[in-house]
Amino acid sequence: MSEEQIKNLEKQFEERIARDEKIEPKDWMPDKYRQTHIRQMSQHAHSEIVGMLPEGNWISRAPTLRRKVALLAKVQDEAGHGLYLYSACETLGISRDALYEQLHSGKAKYSSIFNYPTVTWADMGAVGWLVDGAAIINQVPLCSTSFGPYARAMVRVCKEESFHQRQGYEIMLKLTQGTPEQIDMAQDALNRWWWPSLMMLGPTDAESVHTEQSMKWKLKRKSNDDLRQQFIDQTVPQAELIGLTIPDPDLKWNEERGSYDFGEINWDEFWQVVKGHGPMNKERMKARIDAWEGGEWVRDAAMAHAEKKAERKIKQAI
């Protein structure tokens, strides 16, 4: 194809996106679009899968049967989200195995929030309320992103995430209606998860490398700082309603802006965790790699069995 032909295709492609048309896997697309989507969607899928670990940590110790069932269902939903997203990625011509390889080698990232430990039961509430809450803010705009399989997966994911967020908030609500010990547990969880949740919405706009291109492709519709502000404005009244205090002495309603002003985020901590030095980075990766390597013989057996079955079928037919 000549350079001019490619330019022409690119122009048509950008026009389709501008008209809000969906790009489907078999459509022509610039290589950069393909690679950017593989990167973002797989990062999202990895976050779902790694995100199963901190919550899975409390399944065996959930305090009641009702809570246990809800937590199991939630973590199972996350596995399901991972599955859709890996499948959506595969439509762009990369295998799930190759994506896992990128995760395990450290080439691909996942959401840094999952590198913090879940130390008490209240963390199940805080994670649902704050982490899923921040995730929704990030993901709702993606329901109308330009790549069809991603947009459709996001519609379902967002419905489930919204349920998870309410579930997490309800855990916190119940704790704050409980004994002083339970109230302390809830406050302590908020104290530990608040700042990492704000960081989850990504580096400040000045430091975010991918934003401009992503905006054009509708992979991003608002900047990280705008999303963060939206999250804070939405969450502060929820904390007040259940009598919890946001651990930020600089948090103050700004009448003029119609938004909360907030204190400085410790970006050193953020980059430290992104670079692999968070409290749980090594454990999370080890758990994923152990599951994958430890399961290799199972996957090999399934393949071998399927081949034997197919051979027998052919022999019978002859």
Partner 1 sequence: MKNENLYNYILGIADNSLILGQRLGELTGHGPSLETDIACTNMSLDLFGQVRSYYQYAAKLKGGDATEDTIAFLRKERDYVNVLLVEQPDRDFAYTMARQFLFDVYHLLFLQELQKSHDITLTAIAKKSIKEVSYHQRFSTDWIKRLGDGTTVSHDKMQEAIDSLWTYTDELFHQTAADKAMVAEGIGVDVTALKVKYYSLVNAVLEEATLKIPESKWFQKGGKKGIHTEHFGYILSNMQYMQLAYPNMEW
State the residues that interact with partner 1 by CB under 8 A. Answer: 49, 52-53, 56, 59-69, 72-73, 75-76, 79-80, 82-83, 86, 121, 171, 174-175, 177-179, 181-182, 287, 290-291, 294-302, 304-305, 308
How far apart CA 144 and CA 2 sit, in angstroms, is 33
| Closer by beta carbon to partner 1, 124 or else 154 | 124
* Minimum distance, C-beta of residue 119 to partner 1, in the bound complex (Å): 13
| Closer by beta carbon to partner 1, 169 or else 270 | 169
Residue that the structure tokens 């530990």 belong to: 192
Contact 128, 71 (CB under 8 A): no
Contact 129, 238 (CB under 8 A): yes
Sorted by sequence, the CB contacts under 8 Å of residue 191 that are 6+ apart come out as 247
Closest by CA position to 188, among listed 109, 242, 247: 247
| Closer by beta carbon to partner 1, 52 or else 246 | 52
| Closer by beta carbon to partner 1, 32 or else 299 | 299
| Closer by beta carbon to partner 1, 18 or else 69 | 69
How far apart CA 59 and CA 70 sit, in angstroms, is 9
* Minimum distance, C-beta of residue 108 to partner 1, in the bound complex (Å): 16
* Minimum distance, C-beta of residue 27 to partner 1, in the bound complex (Å): 27
Contact 171, 186 (CB under 8 A): no
| Closer by beta carbon to partner 1, 14 or else 170 | 170
* Minimum distance, C-beta of residue 231 to partner 1, in the bound complex (Å): 26
Q: Is 165 left (phi over 0), alpha (psi -120 to 50) or beta?
A: alpha
* Minimum distance, C-beta of residue 247 to partner 1, in the bound complex (Å): 23
Determine the 3-state secondary structure of 252 from DSSP. Answer: strand
DSSP 202: -
| Closer by beta carbon to partner 1, 15 or else 184 | 184
| Closer by beta carbon to partner 1, 83 or else 143 | 83
* Minimum distance, C-beta of residue 233 to partner 1, in the bound complex (Å): 30
Residue that the structure tokens 């205090």 belong to: 245
* Minimum distance, C-beta of residue 186 to partner 1, in the bound complex (Å): 12
Closest by CA position to 135, among listed 109, 113, 103, 151: 113
Contact 22, 217 (CB under 8 A): no
Residue 55 half-sphere exposure toward CB, CA atoms < 13 A:
30
* Minimum distance, C-beta of residue 63 to partner 1, in the bound complex (Å): 4
Contact 77, 160 (CB under 8 A): yes
